[in-house]
Amino acid sequence: MDLNFTTAEEEFRLKIRRFLEENLPKSGLGAGREGREDKAWLEKSKAWQRKLYESGYVALAWPKEYGGQALDPVCQTIVNDEMVRANAPYLPGGSGLGMLGPTLISWGTEEQKRRYLPKILTGEEIWCQGYSEPGSGSDLASLRTRAEIIGDEFVVNGQKVWTSGAQHADMMFCLVRTDPDAPKHRGISYILIDMHSPGITVRPLVQMTGDKGFNEVFFDNVHVPRKNLVGKLNEGWIVANATLFHERNMLGSATGSEQRFNRLLALTKKIKRGGRALTEDAVFRQRLADLEIRVEAMRFHSLRQLTDQIRGRNPGVETMINKLVGTELNHDLATAAMEAMGDYSMLAREDASVLDHGYWPYEWMFSLGLVIGGGTSHIQKNIIAERGLKMPKSR
Ligand SMILES: Cc1cc2nc3c(=O)[nH]c(=O)nc-3n(C[C@H](O)[C@H](O)[C@H](O)COP(=O)(O)OP(=O)(O)OC[C@H]3O[C@@H](n4cnc5c(N)ncnc54)[C@H](O)[C@@H]3O)c2cc1C
């Protein structure tokens, strides 16, 4: 087993690292996850995505005919790692790049690929995911948003909820019920909806972080061309799962966890308990050791996934493991930081005595959301048990 990157790959890493040092937006965008709600942020981060794309660092493995470079998946992994290490701002087109784009490459018509993929790459069109509905989250197949076929169009009525980024989105990839009489997994279709269509209302929901990151979306007789169907009519469940696969992979990043662990370590070296640094405290050291072991296990897990990708092996439950372990680990890292800070963890970011620039309270709240979004931990465990361990189905 050789876990080292080749010389050419290491040179590529240095190139992207230098690019980020020289080009990372210096101010106004914020690093990491916060502040993704105002229009000024959107415009600046779209410009950032465009620059990254034009410099050759977005979706490197996508086919050339749709604007990609058809490079080895290792190159994309290196870019992702370096972006996390540099604390680069999140890309506004993340849902398009990470979820819809790869789905369309496998399932879209030629016309859909040529129409949508290039604008996903440049960030010109922002996408959101219309899956969840009130009463249909974990049990997604029970969704009720109805699309009737009238002539050459679908006419959509119903409601989605928890739709991240819908307030900025130009387009939505959406699950709708097209055959209400079929068994629940069979009467669903996967369609692409223009968010500027008449009949769409977007209402923001405020998260516990204070961000207006996700929304309710209402459809009142929204007309969608039939050519916006992805996959076959009433067989959208299989396309929906392809997207979920990409989403779950996106949510757990080993490099991100490693970065957070290093930040936690630096914080706890500065915090004193009983006259000594917390890192000298026998009980807390055990906790840090446990977290570091989990971070390291994530790193090996992601290398295994990368090997599968390079060798063209179909992934099994690895993506669910990635999502389950990665999101829980990030929340546990933040919980350890909050407990280490004690009363200081209650301070607002602006307070003069706040520790580590107020990073952890936000991270603690945000990371809890990711344990739920994209399918809760319980659901990932059910799938791993049923598909991976071949255990009987849960009732
Ligand atoms: C930050 C964030 C962003 C999101 N973004 C989007 C988005 O952009 N688009 C979108 O469509 N949705 C989005 N969601 C919604 C997300 O997909 C759902 O919240 C999630 O699937 C859970 O559904 P629910 O909230 O309806 O909870 P429920 O399904 O009601 O679950 C409630 C509880 O019951 C448990 N449970 C349910 N069924 C089972 C079972 N069979 N076995 C064991 N336990 C079970 C769950 O684990 C959970 O603890 C987002 C959610 C969050 C938190």
Domain residue limits, the chain: 7-92, 128-234, 252-388
Residue 135 Cα to ligand 1 midpoint, Å, equals: 10
Q: Do domains 128-234 and 252-388 have the same CATH topology?
A: no
For residue 25, give Cα distances in angstroms to 13, 29, 46, 316, 369: 19, 7, 12, 38, 27
Range list of H helices, 254-317? 254-270, 282-310
Out of 36, 99, 100, 132, mutate this one to test ligand 1's pocket (max ligand atoms within 8 Å of CB): namely: 132
Q: Which residues of the chain have pLDDT under 50?
A: 31-32
Contact yes or no for 251/80 (Cβ under 8 A): no
State the Cα–Cα distance between residues 87 and 291, nearest whole angstrom. 21
Tell me how far the alpha carbon of residue 221 is from its chain's centroid.
30
Type and span of the H or E element at 190 = strand 188-194
Residue-level pLDDT at 2: 79
Superfamily for 252-388?
Butyryl-CoA Dehydrogenase, subunit A, domain 3 (1.20.140.10)
The single-letter code of the amino acid at 12 is F
Residue 369 Cα to ligand 1 midpoint, Å, equals: 10
Atom 3, ligand 1: residue with shortest CA distance = 373
Q: In 3D, which of 313, 262, 320 has the Cα closest to residue 291?
A: 262
- Asked about 247 being catalytic, the answer comes back as yes
The single-letter code of the amino acid at 268 is T
Residue 121 Cα to ligand 1 midpoint, Å, equals: 29
322 CB-near residues (< 8 Å, 6+ apart):
248, 249, 251, 252, 298, 301, 302, 305
Task: Tell the CATH topology of 128-234.
Answer: Butyryl-CoA Dehydrogenase, subunit A; domain 2 (2.40.110)
Q: Is 112 exposed, middle or buried (0-12, 13-18, 19+ CB in 10 A)?
A: middle
Other C-beta atoms closer than 10 Å to the C-beta of 393 total: 7
State the Cα–Cα distance between residues 183 and 186, nearest whole angstrom. 6
State the Cα–Cα distance between residues 291 and 149, nearest whole angstrom. 52
Residue 374 Cα to ligand 1 midpoint, Å, equals: 7
State the Cα–Cα distance between residues 395 and 393, nearest whole angstrom. 6
Q: In 3D, which of 172, 150, 151, 184 has the Cα closest to residue 218?
A: 172
State the Cα–Cα distance between residues 29 and 46, nearest whole angstrom. 10
Closest atom of ligand 1 to CA, residue 132: 11
Residue-level pLDDT at 315: 75
Contact yes or no for 225/111 (Cβ under 8 A): no
Residue-level pLDDT at 270: 96
State the Cα–Cα distance between residues 114 and 263, nearest whole angstrom. 42
Atom 19, ligand 1: residue with shortest CA distance = 373
Structure tokens at 191: 């369609």
Task: Tell the CATH topology of 7-92.
Answer: Butyryl-Coa Dehydrogenase, subunit A; domain 1 (1.10.540)
Contact yes or no for 65/104 (Cβ under 8 A): no
Tell me the backbone φ, ψ of residue 87, rounded to 5 degrees.
55, 40
Structure tokens at 89: 């701002």
Closest atom of ligand 1 to CA, residue 370: 1
Out of 175, 250, 372, mutate this one to test ligand 1's pocket (max ligand atoms within 8 Å of CB): namely: 372
Q: Which residues line ligand 1 at a C-beta cut-off of 6 Å? A: 128-132, 137-138, 162-164, 214, 369, 372-376, 378-379, 382, 394
Residue 376 Cα to ligand 1 midpoint, Å, equals: 6
Out of 215, 251, 320, 376, mutate this one to test ligand 1's pocket (max ligand atoms within 8 Å of CB): namely: 376
State the Cα–Cα distance between residues 376 and 245, nearest whole angstrom. 14
pTM score, whole prediction: 0.94
